[in-house]
Amino acid sequence: MTKAPETERETQRIEAFSDGVFAIVVTLLIFNVKLPEPAAVTANGLLAELAKSWTIYLAFAASFFFVLVMWINHHRLFTIIRRADNNLMLLNGLLLFGVTVVPFPTSIVAAYLLDPQQQAAVFIYNGWFFLVAIMFQLLWRYAAHNNRLFSHAVDPAITRHIARSYNIGLVLYLAAVLIDIISPPVSLAISIGLAVFFAIPNRQVQQLMTTSDTTA
Amino acid sequence: MTKAPETERETQRIEAFSDGVFAIVVTLLIFNVKLPEPAAVTANGLLAELAKSWTIYLAFAASFFFVLVMWINHHRLFTIIRRADNNLMLLNGLLLFGVTVVPFPTSIVAAYLLDPQQQAAVFIYNGWFFLVAIMFQLLWRYAAHNNRLFSHAVDPAITRHIARSYNIGLVLYLAAVLIDIISPPVSLAISIGLAVFFAIPNRQVQQLMTTSDTTA
Amino acid sequence: MTKAPETERETQRIEAFSDGVFAIVVTLLIFNVKLPEPAAVTANGLLAELAKSWTIYLAFAASFFFVLVMWINHHRLFTIIRRADNNLMLLNGLLLFGVTVVPFPTSIVAAYLLDPQQQAAVFIYNGWFFLVAIMFQLLWRYAAHNNRLFSHAVDPAITRHIARSYNIGLVLYLAAVLIDIISPPVSLAISIGLAVFFAIPNRQVQQLMTTSDTTA
Amino acid sequence: MTKAPETERETQRIEAFSDGVFAIVVTLLIFNVKLPEPAAVTANGLLAELAKSWTIYLAFAASFFFVLVMWINHHRLFTIIRRADNNLMLLNGLLLFGVTVVPFPTSIVAAYLLDPQQQAAVFIYNGWFFLVAIMFQLLWRYAAHNNRLFSHAVDPAITRHIARSYNIGLVLYLAAVLIDIISPPVSLAISIGLAVFFAIPNRQVQQLMTTSDTTA
């Protein structure tokens, strides 16, 4: 009886630390968006020069929503995780490592999207997202293995659904990386689409969660 | 009975994440304030050179209080929101997107306030604040629709008052954007005035909240 | 009975937001410490070039402990504040404004401490600390006025002691600003000494607090 | 009875502030990783230029995991600390000072790892880690002295184990600093290895903690 609140506080502090990291990454992304050159602004006007930087805004927005969706999923995952152990802290730390790096590939794709280096830039961008998806998968698999760290009330149907949706995500991020060989713009469009897809609430999972909540 | 605390924890984690984002944005604004050029300091003295940068300080202070007021309002809103769903998380994420962008139009208005590009700079600055006000409106409307996510104790008179004050804000930000066509300085003064207006406590709402609190 | 926890949660969220701002300011200070010029490093060696930047380290450390002490005092203040109202949020917001600006005068004093502009630089640095001390005083006075926002258990002897120590601080920061006219290094030494003075626990206050805690 | 929750809230706010600082440091490290020069990218290709910066990535990753491990250990320490006093806040503040500085030696080692200044750069990097380990040791010793700030339930066997592992860490960081005289790469390898060593869960401590938890 005394153990339960203690371990719950444990997972809460991991959540709080992770929330901090997600919140900071999401907020720092804008600092890769630089003002246009003063000389160019004088020549062409401010609005025209800002409009030219649309690749930077696109990369910024795409990364913002990628990290936001990562946070929403991390958040959902921790609503069913009830216990923490050292391995969970390390795998979570690995995921946070992946997330803190995101501003770097973002600045690469922002700088080289309209450049001959486009293919390499999109490869690094989507390749990193694929690695982050793998890190998320590792965290999930470790926690989910035999319901290791879940509360007993978690319906196995939920974990099956979540597992399936994460697997699909992993395959699609890999597809985005591979399609970059043929068409970098399509590759980028896929990874932006994936953020949208994962942001949309999965009705089935929500229903299952509500049900198991009521019966808990 | 078991559901209530669970969903309350849910909104608390959204609040914590949002608080993190607001706190970081508010703190990072100062990093757009750069030191004056060493050569100019040697020629004219440090204080004289710093004084020349008053547009930067004005833009910094205006944005600080805009984001602070956004936080206070976000905070007030979540004191009456009692449940979270996925759409709330997304609309909240959209608002946070708007807030994290604020340092960028701030640096634009700081750089071009005394420049021929003044009108365009103020347009971007106030235009973005108008967009953020719309994002806030969306979040509010979604939560308020049929008291969807509110606790049952919320007095309809409160929600009517809040809705009215948000509508006024939206119209006034739009007015600020339009007035920029005639006079950029007046436009900027309006948007600074709005931050002050929204910071001042609405006596009627506070009274109503205290009443409903006591009767809850 | 229902009101107490609600308002307590209110002050807790203000504390959390403020903690975030303090934590970010304290962490960002290091980003004003720049690497030495590569050419100078090649000529003179890395350690020699780093040693030349001692004014930057001094300014960094002084500001770090100034903000840390501000946080400790803010923290202490909120252990006796039990209710929040809108004015408290605004005065707290004003204090946070003062705190987020700190990296800017820090970079000024770091850049101009060994320069003919030394006096102006120290004036801005200590002048800003004096303004922040005034903001803290405003927050304190508002909350302390007739024990407005304190829990009833707070011993008046504690508030008298705190008030006295804050008044002393204010006078000494003003003294530091004035002494800059005669000797900038002495002025700087005083403001560094003040951070140390406020960091040291006030035995009398602690004793009084422990007593009132036990009798609460 | 009334005191316990009060002081527990006290340690929780210190933890929250510290978590914020750790989370921000860990997230800001990536901002030392700069894009390669556009001219070099045009000449050699993006991937080739990025690959050349491997020392930057190594320094970034090593510092990330150093700070993460510091956070995990800080976290573990505070699970057994039950009371806070002013000295604890100051010693904790000193540790946070050490942690916020980490991005600076990281950027030094990233810039000079393949340079004639390699030895000095690794000395600063590992030397700083050694100082941070001393700060951690001070915090630990103060809290552990006669179980000063621990809950009574803490098994002395746990504190003995933790103390031993911290002492080993301190000696090994010192060894890393000294070995830099002979071989900077070996010195760097040791400090990276130490982060791994401290990340791995200490089975004995975990077992003891679980036992004392159950009997608490």
ipTM for the complex? 0.84
Nearest residue in chain A measured CA to CA from B86:
A201
Nearest residue in chain A measured CA to CA from B117:
A46
| Cα dihedral B155/B156/B159/B163 (nearest 10) | -160
Q: Residue A102 has what pLDDT?
A: 95
Q: Residue A209 has what pLDDT?
A: 53
Q: Residue D142 has what pLDDT?
A: 87
What is each CA distance from A93 to A84, A90, A110, in whole angstroms?
A: 13, 5, 27
The three-state secondary structure class of A82 is: coil
Residue D25 has pLDDT above 90, yes or no: yes
Q: Residue D96 has what pLDDT?
A: 95
Closest partner CB to A13 (pick from D15, D41, D64): D15
Residues from chain A that touch D72, judged by Cβ atoms under 8 A, are 86, 89, 93
Distance (Å, rounded) from C-alpha D207 to C-alpha A196? 44
* pLDDT-wise least confident of A169-173, B79-83, C169-173, C189-193: B79-83
Distance (Å, rounded) from C-alpha D130 to C-alpha D184? 15
Is D32 an interface residue toward C (CB < 8 Å)?
no
Q: Residue C216 has what pLDDT?
A: 38
Range 46-105 of C in CB contact (< 8 A) with B: 85-87, 89-90, 93, 96-97, 100-101, 103-104
Residues from chain A that touch B101, judged by Cβ atoms under 8 A, are 30
Provide the 10 A C-beta neighbour count for residue A102.
23
Distance (Å, rounded) from C-alpha B105 to C-alpha B89? 25
Structure tokens at A143: 């926690």
Structure tokens at A64: 């913002």
Q: Residue B125 has what pLDDT?
A: 95
Q: Average of pLDDT values for A50-55?
A: 88
**DSSP secondary structure letter of residue A150:** B
The C-alpha of A107 sits at a distance from chain D's nearest C-alpha, in angstroms, of: 8
Question: Which residue of D46, D71, D77 to mutate against A (max A Cβ within 10 Å)?
Answer: D46
DSSP assignment of chain C: --HHHHHHHHHHHHHHHHHHHHHHHHHHGGGG-PPPPHHHHHHH-HHHHHHHTHHHHHHHHHHHHHHHHHHHHHHHHHHHB----HHHHHHHHHHHHHHHHTHHHHHHHHHHTTSTTHHHHHHHHHHHHHHHHHHHHHHHHHHHGGGTTB-TT--HHHHHHHHHHHHHHHHHHHHHHHHTTT-HHHHHHHHHHHHHHHHS--HHHHHHHHHHHHH-
Closest partner CB to C86 (pick from B23, B42, B206): B206
Distance (Å, rounded) from C-alpha C117 to C-alpha B48? 11
Q: Average of pLDDT values for A125-135?
A: 94
Nearest partner of B24 among C78, C27, D103, C86, judged by Cα: C27
Residue D4 has pLDDT above 50, yes or no: no
Distance (Å, rounded) from C-alpha A128 to C-alpha A187? 13
Q: Which residue has the tokens 């940068």?
A: B53
Please say whether the beta carbons of A71 and B20 come within 8 A: no
Is C20 an interface residue toward D (CB < 8 Å)?
yes
Question: Which residue of B25, B86, B96, B115 to mutate against A (max A Cβ within 10 Å)?
Answer: B86
Subunit contact C46:D17, Cβ cutoff 8 A: no
Distance (Å, rounded) from C-alpha B80 to C-alpha C181? 54
Position C213 confidence tier, pLDDT thresholds 50, 70, 90:
very low
Per-residue pLDDT of chain B (216 residues; tens, 9 = 90+): 334 455 666 788 888 899 999 999 999 998 888 888 889 999 999 999 999 888 889 889 999 999 998 998 888 888 888 777 778 888 999 999 999 999 999 999 998 988 889 999 999 999 999 999 999 999 988 888 766 766 666 777 777 877 887 888 889 999 999 999 999 999 999 988 888 777 766 655 555 555 544 443
Burial class (CB in 10 A: 0-12, 13-18, 19+), A177: buried
Q: Which residue has the tokens 């009517």?
A: B160
Is B43 an interface residue toward C (CB < 8 Å)?
no
Closest partner CB to A117 (pick from D45, D68, D216): D45
Closest partner CB to C86 (pick from B27, B201, B214): B201
Residues from chain C that touch B213, judged by Cβ atoms under 8 A, are 2-3, 6
Q: Phi/psi of residue A115, each to 5°?
A: -120, 160
Nearest partner of B198 among B65, B29, B109, judged by Cα: B65
The C-alpha of B84 sits at a distance from chain A's nearest C-alpha, in angstroms, of: 12
Instruction: State the count of interchain CB pairs (< 8 A) between A and D.
Output: 84
As beta bridge partners, residue A150 has A81
Please say whether the beta carbons of D178 and D171 come within 8 A: no
Subunit contact B100:A15, Cβ cutoff 8 A: no
The three-state secondary structure class of B82 is: coil
Subunit contact B101:A30, Cβ cutoff 8 A: yes
Distance (Å, rounded) from C-alpha B76 to C-alpha A113? 42
> What is the amino acid identity at position B209?
M
- pLDDT digits 0-9 by tens, A70-124: 998 888 888 888 777 778 888 999 999 999 999 999 999 998 988 889 999 999 9
Range 145-184 of A in CB contact (< 8 A) with B: none
The three-state secondary structure class of B150 is: strand
Position C152 confidence tier, pLDDT thresholds 50, 70, 90:
low
Nearest residue in chain B measured CA to CA from C27:
B27
Question: Which residue of D9, D13, D87 to mutate against C (max C Cβ within 10 Å)?
Answer: D13
Residue A212 has pLDDT above 50, yes or no: no
Burial class (CB in 10 A: 0-12, 13-18, 19+), C85: middle
Q: Which residue has the tokens 């696109």?
A: A58
Is A214 an interface residue toward D (CB < 8 Å)?
no
Distance (Å, rounded) from C-alpha B203 to C-alpha B209? 10
Is B124 an interface residue toward A (CB < 8 Å)?
yes
Q: What is the maximal distance between C-alpha atoms in chain D?
A: 72
Compute the mean pLDDT over every residue in chain D, rounded to the nearest whole number. Answer: 83
Is B35 an interface residue toward C (CB < 8 Å)?
yes
Cα-only R_g, chain A: 20
What is each CA distance from C14 to A9, C110, C205, D91, in whole angstroms?
A: 21, 32, 24, 25
B contact chains, 3+ CB pairs < 8 A:
A, C
Structure tokens at D105: 């030696």
Is C41 an interface residue toward D (CB < 8 Å)?
yes
Question: Which residue of A8, A22, A27 to mutate against B (max B Cβ within 10 Å)?
Answer: A27
C contact chains, 3+ CB pairs < 8 A:
B, D
- pLDDT digits 0-9 by tens, D168-215: 888 999 999 999 999 999 999 998 888 877 776 665 555 555 554 444
Subunit contact B30:C120, Cβ cutoff 8 A: no
| Cα dihedral B79/B83/B87/B92 (nearest 10) | 20
b (16+ CB within 10 A) / e for A51-66: eeeebbbebbebbbbb
Distance (Å, rounded) from C-alpha C143 to C-alpha C77? 9
Subunit contact C27:D21, Cβ cutoff 8 A: yes
Please say whether the beta carbons of B162 and B115 come within 8 A: no
- pLDDT digits 0-9 by tens, D66-123: 999 899 888 888 888 877 777 888 899 999 999 999 999 999 999 898 888 999 999 9
- Each as own residue / partner, the long-range contacts of residues C37-44 (CB below 8 Å, 24 or more positions apart, any chain) are C38/D111, C41/D112, C41/D117, C42/D116
Burial class (CB in 10 A: 0-12, 13-18, 19+), C96: buried
Quote helix, strand, coil % in chain A, to nearest 5: 85, 0, 15
Residue A156 has pLDDT above 80, yes or no: no
Cα-only R_g, chain D: 20
